[in-house]
Amino acid sequence: MITALNTQFGISGQLSFCEDASGLIVAEINNALGSASLCLQGAHLMTWQPKSQSVPVVWLSKDAKMAAGKSIRGGAPVCWPWFGAHATQSSFSGHGYARTVPWQVIESGTEPNGATRLTLRLVESEQTRAQWPHDCNVDLTVIVGDTLRMEMTTENTGTSDFVIGEALHTYLQIGDIGSVRVTGLEGCEYWDKVGGSNLRKQDGAISFAGETDRVYINSAAECVIHDEQLKRRIHIAKSGSLSTVVWTPWVEKANKMGDMGQPDGWREMVCVESANAIDNLVTVAAGTRHTLIVEYRAESV
C-alpha cells in the first residue's frame, strides 16, 4: 500500500507516504516553502508550518490520538455532510462522518511557485451510505506552500438535489488565548452556543475570557487573528463559505475532553472555522458541484 502510494503519488524531495504507529497512513509534505502532514483517514491535515515562521500555524494537540475511526484533536478536521449534531439522528456522530472514514489519494503535483498539491476523495462504504444515501463525490485538495490552501468540492452525481452542512474546522496556533483578537466579523450576527442558542450581534473585534462557541452567519469576509505574543497575524480568506465558527473550549471543557494537551494546551489554540451551517446550509442541485475554499497566511508583525 505505502509502496504503491509512493510510486504513484510521491514527489521526490516533496511528498511521501508513511504508516504511523497506529497503522494510519500519513502524507508528509516538505518543500522549500513549507511543511505539512495529512492523515488519509478523514483527509485530516494535522500540521502546517511555512518556512517563514518559527512556530507552526496549524495547532495539533500534543495529546492527539491517532486511531482507526476516531477524529484527531487539532489540525483541520473535515466536517461533512453536516455540521454539529445531526438534525434528526442523535446516534450519528457530531460534525458528520467525513473526518473518521478513509479517503483515497487521487492526484498530486507541484504548483508553478513550488507549492505541493494533494487531492483526496472520500471513500464510500455501507457505513457512509447508511448515513448519507446520495450519489456524490467529495474531494479535498490541499496546497502546501508559504500559504495553505484547502478546497473542498461536493459534486452531486445523482438525480435529486441534496442539502449539506460543512466546515474546515481548523485549529490555529496562538501565543495565548487571553491575548489574541479576531477581526473580520464586526457587526455580524451569530448563534451563541454557550448557555443555550441565542442570536446575537458582534460588537467590535472578538477577544476571549471564557468558553466561546459561536456560529457567525452570512459572513464571507476574511478573518484575521492578531497575536501579539507570537508577533504575527494569521489571515483566513475564504470563498463558498457563509458561516464562520469561532471556538475555544476554555479550561473546564478542555479538561473534560482529555486530549487537548495537559495542562493548558487549550490556551495555545483557537478555532476559526470556515463553514456553511445553520442558516447557511448549501443545496447542491443534481448534476452540479459546490466548492468551499480557504487560504491561510501568516504575516509577521
Return the active site residues: 169, 273
Of residues 127-156, those binding ligand BG6 (CB under 6 A): none
**Torsion-angle region of 196 (φ positive above 0: left; ψ -120 to 50: alpha; else: beta):** left
Is the C-alpha dihedral spanning 13, 123, 64, 19 positive or negative? negative
Residues 58-97: x/- map of binding to ligand BG6 (CB under 6 A)? -------------x----------------------xx--
- Nearest approach in angstroms of CB 59 to ligand BG6 is 13
Shortest distance, position 238 Cβ to ligand BG6, whole Å = 16
CB of 2 to ligand BG6, least distance (A): 28
* Dihedral angle over CA of 23, 29, 34, 38, nearest 10: -40
Query: Whose Cβ is closer to ligand BG6: residue 84's or residue 240's?
Result: 84
272-291 binders of ligand BG6 (CB under 6 A): 273
Please report how close the Cβ of residue 100 comes to ligand BG6 at its closest, in angstroms.
Answer: 10
Using the minimum distance from each CB to ligand BG6, give the nearer residue, 53 or 276. Answer: 276
Give the residue closest to ligand BG6 by C-beta. 247
44 binds ligand BG6 (CB under 6 A): no
Give the span between the Cα atoms of 127 and 108, in whole angstroms. Answer: 28
Interface with ligand BG6 (CB under 6 A), residue total 9
What minimum distance in Å lies between the beta carbon of 107 and ligand BG6? 28
User: Based on CB atoms, which residue is closest to ligand BG6, 86 or 95?
Assistant: 95
Identify which of residues 33 and 78 has a Cβ nearer to ligand BG6 in the complex: 78
The nearest distance, CB 51 to ligand BG6, in angstroms, is 29
Residues 226, 299: Cα–Cα separation, whole Å: 10
Looking at residues 194 to 253 of the shown chain, list those that interact with ligand BG6 (rule: CB under 6 A).
Answer: 213, 245, 247
**Least CB distance from residue 225 to ligand BG6, whole Å?**
16
Q: Contacting ligand BG6 (CB under 6 A), which of 169, 233, 267, 297?
A: 169
Task: Using the minimum distance from each CB to ligand BG6, give the nearer residue, 74 or 102.
Answer: 74
Please, which residue, 121 or 193, has the CB nearer to ligand BG6? 193
Q: Quick one: 49 or 71, whose CB is closer to ligand BG6?
A: 71
| DSSP class per residue in the chain | -HHHHHHHH-BTTTEEEEE-TTS-EEEEEE-SSEEEEEETBTTEEEEEEETT-SS-SB-B-TT----TT---SBSB-EE-S-SSS-SS-TTSPTT-SGGGSBEEEEEEEE-TTS-EEEEEEEPP-HHHHHH--S-EEEEEEEEESSSEEEEEEEEE-SSS-EEE-EEE--EEE-S-GGGEEEES-TT-EEEE-TTS-EEEE--SSB--SS-EEEEE-S--S-EEEEETTTTEEEEEEEES--EEEEEE-HHHHHHHHS-S-TTTGGGGEEEEEEEE-GGG-EEE-TT-EEEEEEEEEEEE-
Binding site for ligand BG6 (CB under 6 A): 71, 94-95, 169, 193, 213, 245, 247, 273
